[in-house]
């Protein structure tokens, strides 16, 4: 991080001033380094910025100002304060504060989210029409849309995987990432890029023909570059919809634990952490590739 918020007036070291009975000395430099170990650079910068600006809310135990923020900004502040609470060993205190003020990460309870999803009309045709429009606007990056649709990855993960395929391919080291024997991109070999505190992805089965096209036609890109191109054309980002479409269509070919594994939702359950091993499922790759073939075929890819 190149820029760091200035300490408050009268607080030369950036530590919190006493507020009543509350006084917490925060080593902001150590917090910054702590963030950089667990998050990507941009995410760490945002977490740090919001945590430092709103740290007094955590220390004072008053989250009421967050209720007046927009949902998007409130979420950024909550993520920053959550990281700071873990760093300070006050995670339980922060969770209790959120509960006391009725604050939720997504603004909706799990039940409400399920009902909203079930009530929504299927929009597969609109999503697939979007892929064609987006590919036209992205031009030389149009193949990236097919890669997201085939892998079911989050946008950040897809960009990282895309760039890694191209870089290692150019260096003659693709075998360090793409396992030709299993047909899988082995993200777990690059923990810093794909294994994060809150989100992680371990493997993705991608058709070898698509990998070959990326090596031949693909160019390195960034999330911002893709977003800017679409925004200039008046097209909103719908990569999360592609991820949802992937998961929904794959239920015809895969079991739920398999979908969760491939989309990076491996939870902390005893079964997933200690027993579930896709290596024991010989036809997993074949079933995934059948699903991908159908998905790409739906949009003429």
pLDDT score at 47: 94
Res 70: pLDDT: 85
Structure confidence at residue 122 (pLDDT): 52
Grouping H, G, I as helix, E, B as strand and the rest as coil, residue 295 is: helix
pLDDT at residue 271 is higher than 60:
no
Task: Label the pairing between strands 178-179 and 184-186.
Answer: antiparallel
pLDDT exceeds 50 at position 93: yes
- Which domains does the chain show, CATH number per domain? 1-120 (no CATH), 124-298 (1.10.443.10)
Whole-number Å distance between alpha carbons of 296 and 301? 5
Please give the pLDDT value at position 248.
92
pLDDT surpassing 50 at residue 5: no
Q: Is the pLDDT at 301 greater than 80, yes or no?
A: no
At residue 273 the predicted structure's pLDDT band, cuts being 50, 70 and 90, is: low
pLDDT, tens only, 196-224: 766 789 999 999 999 999 999 999 999 99
Q: Which among 252, 273, 274, 248 is positioned nearest to 263, based on CA atoms?
A: 248
Predicted local confidence at residue 9, as pLDDT: 39
| C-alpha span between 178 and 156 (Å, rounded) | 19
The CA distance from 243 to 241, in Å, is 5
> Over 50: is that where the pLDDT of 12 sits?
no
Q: Kindly indicate the confidence band of residue 4, based on its pLDDT and cuts at 50, 70 and 90.
A: very low
- How far apart CA 17 and CA 111 sit, in angstroms, is 41
Rounded CA separation 218/140 (Å): 8
How far is residue 272 from each of residues 199, 204, 281, measured CA to CA in Å? Answer: 15, 17, 14
Q: What is the pLDDT of residue 197?
A: 67
Mean pLDDT rounded to a whole number for the chain: 83
Quote the pLDDT of residue 101: 87
Q: Give the pLDDT of residue 117.
A: 52
Number of CB atoms found within 10 A of residue 222's CB: 10
Query: Helices 41-60 and 91-100 sit at what angle, rounded to 10 degrees?
Result: 70
Residue 105 has a pLDDT of 82
Separation between Cα atoms, residue 234 and residue 230, nearest integer Å: 6
Confidence band of 158 (pLDDT split at 50, 70, 90): very high
Q: Summarize pLDDT for 101-145 with one digit per residue, the tens.
A: 888 886 554 555 554 454 454 567 888 889 999 999 999 999 999
pLDDT digits (tens, 9 = 90+) for 42-89: 889 999 999 999 999 998 888 988 988 888 889 999 999 999 999 999
Q: Each residue of 65-84: b (16+ CB within 10 Å) or e?
A: ebeeeeeeebbbbbbbbbbb
236 contact partners, CB below 8 Å, separation of at least 6: 230
CB-count exposure of residue 257 (10 Å: 0-12, 13-18, 19+) = middle
Res 10 pLDDT > 50: no
- Residue 184's DSSP bridge partners are 179, 205
**Predicted pLDDT at 111:** 53
- Min mean pLDDT across 67-81, 151-165, 259-273 is at 259-273
Measured torsion, CA atoms of residues 147, 153, 159, 162, in degrees rounded to the nearest 10: -40
Q: Quick one: pLDDT band at residue 35, thresholds 50, 70, 90?
A: very high
Task: Report yes or no: 93 and 100 within 8 Å, Cβ to Cβ.
Answer: no
Q: What's the CA gap between 110 and 88, in Å, rounded?
A: 29
């Amino acid at each position: 991080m190149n820029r760091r918020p200035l300490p408050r007036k009268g607080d030369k070291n950036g530590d919190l001033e006493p507020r009543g009975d509350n006084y917490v000395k925060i080593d902001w430099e150590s917090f910054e380094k702590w963030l950089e170990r667990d998050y990507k650079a941009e995410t760490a910068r945002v977490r740090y910025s919001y945590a430092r600006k709103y740290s007094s809310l955590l220390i004072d135990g008053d989250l009421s100002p967050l209720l007046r923020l927009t949902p998007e900004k409130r979420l950024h502040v909550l993520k920053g304060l959550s990281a700071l609470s873990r760093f300070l060993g006050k995670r339980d205190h922060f969770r209790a504060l959120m509960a006391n003020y009725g604050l939720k990460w997504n603004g909706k309870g799990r039940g409400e989210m399920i009902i909203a999803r079930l009530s929504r009309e299927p929009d597969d045709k609109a999503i697939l029409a979007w892929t064609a429009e987006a590919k036209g606007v992205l031009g030389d990056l149009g193949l990236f849309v097919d890669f997201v649709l085939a892998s079911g990855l989050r946008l950040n993960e897809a960009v990282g995987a895309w760039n890694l395929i191209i870089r290692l391919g150019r260096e003659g080291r693709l075998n360090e990432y793409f396992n030709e024997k299993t047909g899988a991109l082995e993200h777990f070999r690059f923990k810093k890029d794909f294994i994060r505190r809150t989100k992680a992805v371990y493997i993705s089965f991608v058709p070898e023909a698509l990998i070959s096209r990326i090596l031949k036609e693909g160019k390195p890109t960034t999330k911002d570059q893709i977003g800017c191109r679409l925004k200039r054309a008046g097209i909103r980002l719908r990569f999360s919809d592609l991820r949802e479409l992937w998961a929904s269509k794959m239920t015809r070919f895969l079991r739920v634990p398999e979908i969760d594994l491939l989309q990076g939702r491996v939870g902390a359950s005893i079964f997933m952490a200690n027993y579930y091993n896709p290596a024991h499922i010989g036809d997993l790759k074949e079933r995934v590739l059948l699903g991908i073939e159908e998905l790409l075929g739906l949009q003429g890819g």
